[in-house]
Chain A
Amino acid sequence: MLLKLWQALISGLSVGSIYALIAQGYYITYITTGALNFGQGEFLMIGALFGLTCYVVLGLPYALAILGAVLVTGLMGIVLERIAIRPVMRHALSLSWVLSTVAVSIILKNAAVDLWGPEQIKFPSPFGEGVVQIGPAGIFPQELFIIAVALGTVFAIQIFLRRSLLGKALMAVAFNRNAAAVMGINVPRMVVLAFVLSSALAGLGGILIAPITFAWAYMGTVPGIKAFAAAIFGGLENPIGILIGGLIIGVLEQLFGIINSNLKEGITFLFILLALAIRPTGLMGRQEIVKV
């Protein structure tokens, strides 16, 4: 039992850190534009499949495959912002962006089926199939790699946002658009940057997780939504909350998976419903003060 718990904890942390990674992307675009990409999961999928092509078909090193996946999804972020965000943010209708980003994700899914087929494809782990003994249990090295890279990236992003001039400018746009604009900050360009970062994070998540799941056209939707749950749990404007939310959801899922695989699939949503019933702006989100 202890063995299973230990394994579940490590697996949970690795899946959870992927959720946290994607959810950081939601955070960045939400604070800058009030919108987020409901197709993050499909960007994850493209990251995985494009990475697969680089790594397996072209035989590039895993590190280059990661770079390729991040670049491609980052560029797709520019396109996404142009066709699905910028044109609809002018509209009065507050939920236009939900459907426009979902529409892009639907198109991406179809494209992925055309390019890579509908089947699940095995993504060989660069660290081999063996397990390493850590504590009482055998752990896949890929899982540890995921935890290290994903959490490292989350922290790197936070350091970028808090320490670099560009990051500070992005945070300024997020906090107060008009004030940022009169400082001479090019606000529309910062919004593009936010979507590039957000999309690249999803792409990175995809190529990281593919070796422990499979790579295929339909792999993205559920992790995308679960990452959204993590962001909502932590509060969309709270990066630390989002990180914790992602890890909690990942671990919770694996722990309940020990008891029952049906529970594993449902627990995230039950959990988030309960959390929102208690605090409607996320357990760690801040309460909004109505301005009149």
Chain B
Amino acid sequence: MRLPVFACSGPSDWVRVAAAVLVLGLLPVLLDDPFFILVLQSLAYLFIVTLGLDILVGWTGQISLGHAGLYAVGAYTTAIMSTRLGLPFWVTAPAGIALAGLCGAALALPSLRAKGPYLAMVTIAFGFMAEVTSNRWSFTGGPMGISSIPPPTLPGGSEMTATQYFWLIAGVALLCHLLAANLFRSRIGRTFRALQSSDIAAEIVGINVYRYKVLAFVISSVYAGIGGVFFAHQSGFINSDTFVFSFSVSLLAAVLIGGSGTLYGPLVGSVILNLIPTVFASLYKYHLYIFGGIILVTIVFLPKGIVGSLRQITWFRRVHRETPDIASDACIPDFAPGSLPHGAALAIRQLCKSFGGIRALNGVDLAIAPGTIHGLIGPNGSGKSTLVNVLSGVYRADSGAMMLGDCALSPKRPSSMARHGVTRTFQNIRLFNELSVLDNVMVGFHLQFTCGFWRHFLQTRAAIAEEAAFRRKAIALLAFVGIGERAHDRAQDLPHGQQRMLEIARALAVRPRLLMLDEPAAGVSPAELSNLMRIIRAIRAAGVTLLVIEHHMDLIMQVSDTISVLDFGQKIAEGTAAAICADPKVIEAYLGAPVAPGEVVAAGA
């Protein structure tokens, strides 16, 4: 049995929700003290804001030092609408939240390319604009502020008491938490966390990274707006003192102290930070010492935050395992012969790409027959990786044409190539390190999920059923590449060879028509090599077209149907393995000058 809206899958989840409701319901009744209720209210809405910031910072790995600004947008919108226009809370509150969300979307616009300190600057600038606006502009009242903001009304028309208002805030906080938990467990949360590990790997499985970063900003801003609205109606008075840079800092501190990227970290972090002024009230002269000291000590000694550090103790680690029920066999799930998708022919004409003055690709022509394995070799620096980067949309070609089947490709970003059925693995392995092995493959299914954001946000039956179905497929894929038993380990804990297999499994989840493997055998042990060859051949048998870059001559000679040789950004030879080995141009370029026995003797003497 489960709640209709929430992913409460077992009795323990039910118990937890019921306990939370009970505690939150009884707290203000049992301890009926106005100051205490005020503190509880503040804790509840600051928790919402912190949780929202964690979704942005802890899940997707972006940064915001301007959340006070978004909080201010919510607070001022509802305050101005209710005092100047006399509109009821139930109208002004959604307006404030929506406007905060909109601001978040605008703030996210530069977030695709602006990273690190540059993104920090965007958010700082927004925060300071809000601070200056609230302090200096007349419609906000400046330091005099806006007063007599009415508390929300009940349906009968009477104003809410402090206790009732707490119940409202706490209810919304619980709702926000449960919805965040839904997100966390669904493909949306998984996608967010994947972005944090690797933008590029997320793109090549078809995730439009930009859209998801904006989404994270919007969700985070909505949560900040909710907090701001509750704050305005709690105190009845707001002025510019609240919406300052240091408030943004303390929110970020709460996220990191609690444990970024965890579900319960924001709760712990916001409670600790917001109780400091209350608990240490008598030491008000030293508040900033305590505050700064706590931040510094936690960051240095508990970099994963309190909750994150607790989770490292296995005792607290929730084990959620299911045994792979599909036996490993040679057949790739979803790739039974005759099933979709068919491998596509690839044709490249006169592809050029330069970096600075160096021509990495200098007019490359390449034709790959559908459903074949095409080997690509050449000395280091000959342009092989650049070719794969252009084909997967990581780089844009300067000139030239690419056709996949009948479809001309002009990739704007890697995710659009994934939509065409082109994906790849990386020479330097790029997994979602923090995610489990299983989740890495689940992210690969991104384009095949049919349920959208809202169904996952609300965890409808369809979304849950879809998730379960893909889980089974993911486990089957892992079994196929031979790492089924590692499904629940973290990806970064796998040995090198298994990481390569996982990358291939993730790429297969995209259901590619063309799969590019960039040095799949690098660092793979001889024992694993035969498994790799089995996998490559089985992928071809399933009808997928493969382009394999490799230095390992044994492998490339054995599996390739055709081999092309690149040198200085140009194709210098093409043919079967035997023909390539005998080609004098290849021997000179790729293998250095032919070994003249006389020279060897001379050097060795």
Contact = CB atoms under 8 A, between A and B. Distances in A.
Direct A/B contact, Cβ within 8 angstroms: yes
Nearest to B114: A280
Contacts of A100: 295-296, 299-300
A95 B249 contact: no
Interface string B357-398: 000000000000000000000000000010001000011000
Interface string A59-88: 000000000000000000000000110011
Contacts of A44: none
B245 A91 contact: no
Interface string B455-471: 00000000000000000
Given A95-B63, A99-B253, A273-B125, A107 B300 contact: no
Contacts of A103: 253, 292-293, 295-296, 299
B523 interface: no
Candidate in A109, A266, A282 with the most chain B CB atoms within 10 angstroms: A266
Contacts of B116: 34, 94
Contacts of B304: 93
A83 B110 contact: no
Contacts of B61: 94
Given A109-B288, A225-B245, A292 B200 contact: yes
Interface in A107-132: 107, 109-111, 113-114
A247 interface: no
A225 B216 CA distance: 25
Contact of B394 (A106, A282, A290): A290
A88 B303 contact: yes
B249 A99 contact: yes
Candidate in B110, B133, B300 with the most chain A CB atoms within 10 angstroms: B300
A261 B142 CA distance: 14
Interface in B245-261: 245-246, 249, 252-253, 256, 260
A232 interface: yes
Contact of B125 (A30, A236, A269): A269
Given A266-B133, A270-B129, A281 B295 contact: no
A262 B385 contact: no
B376 to A, nearest CB: 16
Contacts of A110: 286-289, 292
B137 A225 contact: no
A58 B128 CA distance: 38
Contact of B389 (A36, A84, A270, A292): A292
A106 B291 contact: yes
A274 B213 CA distance: 20
Nearest to B355: A289
Contact of B118 (A95, A111, A280): A280
B114 A276 contact: yes
A292 B129 contact: no
B295 A266 contact: no
Contacts of A102: 249, 295
B120 interface: yes
A165 B114 CA distance: 34
Interface string B26-70: 000000000000000000000000000000010001010100000
B125 A272 contact: yes
Interface string B251-290: 0110010001000000000000000000000000111110
Candidate in A99, A228, A232, A282 with the most chain B CB atoms within 10 angstroms: A99
A229 B125 CA distance: 8
Interface in B113-137: 113-118, 120-122, 124-126, 128-129, 132-133, 135-137
Contact of B124 (A88, A225, A277, A280): A225
Nearest to A225: B124
A151 to B, nearest CB: 24
A276 B299 contact: no
A104 interface: yes
Given A99-B252, A100-B295, A30 B132 contact: no
Contacts of A113: 288
A153 interface: no
Given A36-B117, A93-B260, A265 B109 contact: no
Given A102-B295, A109-B288, A281-B114, A95 B126 contact: no
Nearest to A226: B128
Contacts of A225: 124, 128, 245
A262 B249 contact: no
Interface in B133-151: 133, 135-137
B426 interface: yes
Contacts of A87: 300
Contacts of A96: 256, 299, 303
Contacts of A232: 117-118, 121
Given A221-B245, A266-B133, A106 B303 contact: no
B249 to A, nearest CB: 5
Q: Which 6 A-B pairs have the closest CB atoms?
A: A110-B288, A106-B292, A280-B113, A280-B114, A103-B295, A107-B292
Given A96-B299, A98-B63, 10 more contacts: A88-B299, A91-B303, A106-B249, A110-B288, A229-B125, A266-B129, A276-B118, A280-B112, A282-B118, A292-B427
8 contacts: A83-B300, A87-B300, A91-B303, A107-B292, A110-B286, A110-B287, A221-B245, A266-B128
